[in-house]
Amino acid sequence: MDKEKLIDAINGKGFRNSIISLYYNIGRALPFVAQRFPDGRVSPWYANQYVEVHRVEPRGKGGKYGNAYGFYFRNGERADAYENDPEHSWCKKDDTEPQPIPNAACGSWFLVDILGGATAEPTKVYTLNDELEFGKHKGKTLKEIIHSDFGWIKWAIDNSEHFFCDLDEVIAEHKKDIKIWKPEDLLTFGKYKGKSIRFIFENDPQYLSWLVRNAEEFRVDMDLLTK
């Protein structure tokens, strides 16, 4: 498995990952690097820090909870976890033993890098020709499902603990189903059924904008409309 593809697939779960789930999904490899709220949505303060995880102790049903231990980094260097209060930092820059990482079992952790080798099988990352091994589409290839039920693919990426895929590959395949509507094409549904895209653009542009924002299977060639 390509490391970068595995990292991208795992991070495709968005804010669902904990340090514990990252540990399992990378085949219990240690150490690894993780970052919480890397896009800074909670605070820009998160964007310049990460942890290097050296030990994980899962517990609870299915091992979904537990503790993780490691070192704290800021701006790429070992640092005191609390910049303005080094004495009370959960991890100090001079610590030589991995320290308990706060919120390790909570969500919102993203995988940055895998430094150690896997000691178990990493999570399966489905390719287009792989057959699904669970759920209502079990036995179908990922490619088949993309073309027949893309809504399920979106749901599985967001919600299923067992489904990981190459997001770029999936999106590229889905684009093959997307029709590009031109100005003279006629709408086949809704309140303007039978009217051209140009007619709707000229008479109800807000409706056309709403349609484009919510469309799954088509796009409108806006460049041709505005010429």
Distance between start and end Cα atoms, the chain: 47
* Bridge partners for 78 per DSSP: 73
pLDDT of 225 over the 80 cut: no
| 4-46 pLDDT per residue, tens | 999 999 999 888 899 999 999 999 999 999 999 987 776 777 8
Residue 112's pLDDT is: 97
Scan for tokens 């795992």, then name that residue: 10
Residue 138's pLDDT is: 95
| 165-211 pLDDT per residue, tens | 999 999 999 988 888 888 888 888 888 899 898 899 889 988 888 88
Residue 6's pLDDT is: 96
| 63-106 pLDDT per residue, tens | 789 999 999 999 999 999 998 899 999 999 999 999 999 999 99
Contact 188, 179 (CB under 8 A): no
What is the three-class DSSP state of 48?
helix
Query: Which has the higher per-residue pLDDT, 66 or 212?
Result: 66
